[in-house]
Structure 1
Amino acid sequence: MRFPEALRALNSRNYRLFFTAQMISMTGLWMYRVAIGWLVFRLTDSNSALGLMDFVASLPVFFLSPFAGAVIERLDLRKLVFRTQTGCMCIAFAFAFLTFTDLITYKIILALVLTRGLLDAFEMPARYSLVSYMVDRREDIGNAVALNSTLFNTARMIGPTVGGFVIHAFGEAFCFFSNSFCYLSTLLALKKMRLSRPPIGKTGGRSRPLHDMIDGLHIASDFAPYRYFLLLITATGFFAFPSITLMPAMAKSVLNGTSQTLGFLLMGVAIGALAGSLLMASRKNVARHSWWCTRTCVGFGAAVILFSLSRNIWLSVALAAPVGFCLVTCTIACNTLLQTMTAPESRSRIMALYTLANIGIPPFGSMLAGKFGDLTNTGWALFACGIFCTLFSVYFLRKIDRINGEVTAALKRQGAI
């Protein structure tokens, strides 16, 4: 069967396998995320503990991503994703066992999330880069990225809600067990893929990871579109992503709710995120992605400001939707632009820097916001984050609007438009 235009990437068998497997895996991942946040807040009753956990998990991504991007360009991406996902499955099982037996402590949680962060530093840029090998046509890369996000945010809508009720009924351990078994779907899909060529970015020359890493940094800094898009996502992530990390504190200490309240808040985020994902999946080409990226980054900051001011549960759920919409739309647009502007031999390094900006930097903001939230309250911490995000986003919006000609030229060189 042929899929409609908005789902055109699913016409590729390999991507269809991956997409189907991720339906299961991502739901388990979001159950894990809501469970880990609730477990930490239950054990510590501290905003700072949530921020520190997010910070520790991101340390390997922050320090290793540029180097990882250089290393994985010479590795088989499918095998690498398979091995790192297997490691993540083992960590989820360890969380389940230790929580079920009441052996879990905050220090053990930090050790496990640090170990998972080491895997994420290699798994995330590898998975981002592997998408371009799964689709049969280069012009479908943008649609595949958007569909990945649609799936991610559909799971974000289902997983936290289910997770909130599961935690309430059975405890966090059941969520961790579910997450560990959900990884099996992705591992099976990776095994069954039939790729026309090995998913390896570089095959010639001698392997020089450190030299390649430095070269990748020069590529990103010398080309204005790379530089400004990465800085925009870095600023947005630092100041606005803490709104997601501090959701457990918002649910419990500001709204006086339970784990079910947290599930509803994250469902609100997911509904908006799903709408943003579907919007970007419906775009037939990437010519306007720069406009969407910059404007929704500004909107992200404004949405966090409004969300921080609410003291009513159902109003907060409604205000969480634009937070999710802007978060996902700006990251999809940026991810797609970076992938489609970049030649295959440099893609893993650029996507590793995107991983650093999108995953490695935000926890620094979360830790700072968590500390500020303990000194004042969670609502005021998020309000300050929203103000700074809006100001920085407006600054980079003006910079990027001036170089739209360079963005268009880069897309044309790679045959994206």
Structure 2
Amino acid sequence: MTRTEGTRRPSSFASLRIRNYRLFSLGQSTSVVGNWMQNIAVGWLTLQLTDSGTLLGVVTGARYLPVLLLGAWGGLVVDRHDCRRLLLLTQVCFALLAALLTLLSWARLLTLPLLVGVVLLVGLTNVFDGPARQSLISELVDQEHLANAVAVNSTLINAAKLLGPGIAGVVIAAMGVTPCFAVDTLSFLAVIASLLALRTSEMHPAEREVRARGQIRAGIDYILRTPALLQPMVMVYVTGILTWEFPVSLPLLTTSVFHTDADGYGAAMAAMGVGAVLGGFAAVRRTRLTHRTLPVSALIWGALISAAALAPNLYTALAVLVFVGAGSITFNSSAKTLIQLGAVPQMRGRVISIWSIGWLGGTVIGAPLVGAVGASWGARSALLVGGLAAAAAGMLPILLSVSGFAERRGRSAP
């Protein structure tokens, strides 16, 4: 008996058959290479200027302070306006800020206060860019392809992250940080070109929110009364604050414990990128999510991070970090998919922005905290605290689920 067309397994990259989504993903992936080169350069320059893990955490946190303070408002702006036009504006702003970093670095005028100032402006732009970018995905594909599109987007972006840190490590070692900023400037042109090339007639625009009072509070209330959104959101906040602080914990680990230069940090990020791509391929083949997928992935991810923190040497750490990268994409893709599918279109911008406050804005709290932990108790502790937090975030829903099942079974017993 042969398979019929109706029973054939859908393609792992089915969403890339849609022209608009394919163009958008290509532009985003190109930009992420440049963006991660900039991230690595900023982190490395901060260590050169300060030789302080705590100040590295402060600079990293500065990028996400605007998201923490203004993220919910940014999501409301996205719900009210055209996502494509808003993204065109944010990409121009990103390009100008990257060009400013390039000029200041080239002229050797880039001090720590100036670096923090530019990073804050990048974070302010990201208040609108993050929710607009995620919301636009749902306008480029139909509901049937949305879960696949989210997974494919994560996979392509993490493939780009594989290139960015590795290239940055080589470039910084050979020529310094300035070329990294220059490449980031040019990379935004790819996003702008892809957005201009989209066919608006083939898009699925969401109904825009009409201006009214109390709309930010309405978005928060909507999440609190929607269990399908609340559980993943809580887990995202825990891991966003304490776990996703690799730009702080990994430079400390590679320099303080394994005594390497920029190439060691680049290798660590590249190892995570390899794992993220492998994890992404698994994510795009997944046909459905269950209520246990996210907690289990968080538990496994936390165990792997803890193992990397305790690795006896750099090569063992790099090998484990491959699996950490796979775990990160499994968790992040699952959380984003559940949140995107669980939110009604009129609320999607606010829901995604509140997700961003936890996942990105939480760094404002977590990065200095993790940096201080590393400075006080050693670099391994900085990574270990993230692993334990992720494991706890995954374990709690599992225990509550088991407890609830046992209670229901006890009630039904004669």
Identify if the C-alpha distance between structure 1 residues 194 and 107 changes in structure 2 by more than 3 Å, giving closer, same or farther: same
% same residue: 27
1:403 deviates by: 9.3
- 88, 103, 108: which one aligns with 2:109: 103
Determine which of 183, 192, 210 is the counterpart of 2:188: 183
> Counterpart of 2:173?
168
Deviation at 1:316, TM superposition (A): 1.1
Gaps of 5+ in 1: 405-417
Aligned ranges for residues 227-238 of structure 1 at < 5 Å? Answer: 227-238=230-241
Render the CA deviation track for 1:289-315: whole Å, top value 9, x for unaligned.
x43321111122211211111241111
**Paired residue for 1:330?**
331
Structure 1 residue 36 displacement after superposition: 1.1
Superposition deviation, residue 400 in structure 1: 6.3
Q: Deviations over 1:327-347 (max 9, x none)?
A: 111110110111112221111
The amino acid across from 2:292 in the alignment is W
Q: Tell me what 1:407 maps to.
A: none
Q: Which residue of 2 aligns with 1:6?
A: 12
Q: TM-score, normalised by structure 2?
A: 0.91
Please name the residue that 1:391 is paired with: 392
Are residues 215 and 254 of structure 1, via their aligned partners in 2, closer, same or farther at CA, if it must alter by over 3 Å? same
**Residues 240 and 300 in structure 1, CA contact (< 8 A), matched pair in contact too:** no
1:223 counterpart residue number: 226
Cα RMSD (Å) of the superposition?
2.0
SS of 2:292's equivalent? helix
| Alignment-derived partner of residue 164 in structure 2 | 159
Aligned to 1:265: 268
Looking at structure 2, the residues matched to 204 and 252 of structure 1 have their Cα atoms a distance apart, in angstroms, of: 49
Report the residue type matching 2:394 in the other structure.
S
- Read off the aligned partner of 2:326 and give its amino acid letter: F
1:131 equivalent to 2:137? Answer yes
- Would the alpha carbon gap of residues 226 and 151 (structure 1) be closer, same or farther in structure 2, given more than 3 Å must change? same
Q: Is the 8 A contact 2:294 2:394 kept in 1?
A: no
The one-character-per-residue Cα deviations of 1:87-108 (angstroms, maximum 9, x if unpaired) are: 0111111111111111001111
The one-letter code matched in structure 2 to 1:280 is A
TM-score with structure 1 setting the length: 0.91
Residues 186-242 of structure 1: per-residue CA shift (max 9 Å, x gap): 10110110123777544464x12x511110000001112211110011111222112
For the residues of structure 2 that align with 1:48 and 1:9, how far apart are their CA atoms? Answer: 42
- Residue-pair matches, total: 397
Aligned residue number for residue 408 of structure 1 = none
How big is each residue's C-alpha offset from its partner over 1:104-155, in whole Å with a ceiling of 9 and x where there is no partner? Answer: 01111111111111110111011000001111x2111111111111111111
Q: Which residue of 2 aligns with 1:413?
A: none
- Check conservation: 1:21, 1:189, Cα contact below 8 A: yes
CA 1:319–1:287 in 2, change beyond 3 Å: closer, same or farther?
closer
Q: Return the alpha-carbon distance in structure 2 between the equivalents of residues 199 and 253 of structure 1.
A: 50
Distance 1:264 1:390, change over 3 A: same
Secondary structure in structure 2 of the residue aligned to 1:196: helix
- C-alpha separation in 1, matches of 2:65 and 2:295: 27
Bigger drift between 346-355 and 123-132 goes to 346-355
- Say whether 1:256 aligns with 2:280: no
1:307 matched to which residue of 2? 308
Residues 1:403 and 1:12: Cα distance change in structure 2 (over 3 Å): farther
1:6 is paired with a residue whose SS is coil
